[in-house]
Structure 1
Amino acid sequence: MTDGNNKISSENNEEGGSAPKRQRIETENAENNANDQHPLTLRMMCNTCQEVLEKQKNIEHFNTEIVDELRSVKSELKLELQLIRDDLKPKTVVAAVPMKADSKDTTAWNSENKSATMTTTGKYFVLKHVFKNVSNMKEDEYRLSEAEEHFGIEWRMGVRRTKEHLHFYLHCPKSMGTVNWTIETQRKHVLVSNRVENKVKKGKQIFNNKTPAWGCEKFIKWAEMEKDYLVDGRLTAEIHIKIKKTTGIYKDNLRSFDETMEEFSDVVLVVNEEKFYVLKLYLAAHSPYFKALFLGNFNDSKKSEIKLTGIDADDFQNYLELLYGEHPIDEYTCEGLLLVADMLDTPLVIRKCEQFLLKESKKTLKKKLELSTRFCLEALKKKCLAEIKSIGDLQAVLPGNVQDLDKSIMGELLEKSISLHN
């Protein structure tokens, strides 16, 4: 009986009747299922990877399309802007002002060429223009660039052809509303070439109501200009201008800072040989620059008379008036005030100038945007960008050469361009 029972038990184990056999079978089934699912898992991973790669390719393709579109938009804007400039640019005109460029002027000009390179601090700016179809100019034909405002004054450059030479002038055409005004300038006239060195001549002249144009007769021989400086009939010209001194441009002084204020002052500031009697602590309270100058450990801190350089005396007069509670800000003085306040780190003056530009100024949108980027006037920049509502508005604020655009505003104008095109 015992042998029979053992045999039956053994058979039952082989047929799976017992727990050990069931466990073995279940384990084998689980392994088989796992083996069956493994290729499926690999396929799912491959599909997922393929989808990711496809999305990446789509993103790269989309980015390429955006870059191509932005380049196309930029090219279109440059072309449209140039077309508008051509339409607005004055046609051929006859010079209506005397040209003080006789033999004496030429001698003075050439002597100034030997002077050192002029500084770019203070009232310094550059006019740039591309004259078109210059090769078709006739003898005695005269052409002007469009007017640009700098420091409240309009400026233009002009070229004239004679039989053998090109003449190159700077104009200050706008009437100042006063009989006796003068602008003392240091200038550098430049013809730009991509084949030879730029043609450069320097000079110093004084503009006034009787002589609002100065320049150089026989700036370059016509044949040389055509050979080395024309590109498809275009002549690229620049004039670098430093305003040294002005008289009769601004209003009468609203407050005195001369020797009559000596008993109420403790320091004398000298700007372009003009003396200003002021209080150290009052200026130091408004300007970190003056705080460091007057209260810091410097040699000048103990001096009773200190010379300031790189500043115009009229601009400094207006600056002091504003600090002392007067209101000297207008279309002529605003840019000069910003320049001095920026150099002397005076937030109060900068803020008041920005308020004038925001609420009262009649300057062009282009000029306001230029000032906003130059002096970091965020509220003014925001307002200017909001006023750009069409492609025409956008073109109006762009410089003739897009490369001259301030890098801090380029991205925002590009975004504006895309939104307007869409």
Structure 2
Amino acid sequence: LARKSTINDVEHFSMFLDCNDDSVYDHWRVDHTTTIALVNRVKPESTKSTTFSNCFEKGSESWGRKECMLFSDIENIAEGFIQDDKVVLKARISVEAVDGMKKIVPYDFSQVHDSDSVTLRIGGENVYVSKGYLATHSPYFDALFFKDFKENSQFQIELKDVSAQEFIEFLHIVYPSNKPITVDSYKYILALADRFQVQMHCIKSFASPEAVKTIESTHEFKKFSDALKIALFKRVLALIKG
């Protein structure tokens, strides 16, 4: 992060590094050494850099230098740091130790894993899932697999009007893969969570109220059911309360 800081009525150019600042977990740490450089576009040998080593952890997710250089020096074109109203920053980060970070555990839905598996046929592809696991989290799949539906005696069930790849990404959220919802995936994952009735389970992946508020401003939000909107609202309240 680069920003302007005022210290004793003097404006300085400041550079900071943030790490895992939206984590909902309390016990984690990252030891690192970082060099951040403000590149001189005219005289590379005059590039300004700062190096720091420290430990990021919950409550100390940001660290850097407030007084890297005078902001007036950057604004002075003759100094060579600014061109076309732009500056160039380079960062070299060396991570020395990591503790308490959850790792993404990939789950292969193209393989049969146990006797409880059932084949979901989606767009010509086979997706293998555990009937019991999905039924535990989803009333939709509980009814599909175990209630009075003809599908409950079938070993292969077709799901229509869904992309196989998007459904697999959705499964990574339902299963304990620790795979986060991203800006690229949240629209279809929430739509699938709504369709298959796993709203509360999926929205636990949102780690800040801001992430939920971003969704509320989208066109897709209007299409969500009342149940999903209520679940999102409850998630915001839980995050605010901490």
TM range, smaller chain: 0.3 to 0.5
TM-score (norm 1): 0.27
Structure number with greater Rg is 1
TM-score (norm 2): 0.45
Instruction: Identify the structure with the greater strand proportion.
Output: 2
Instruction: Identify the structure with the greater helix proportion.
Output: 1
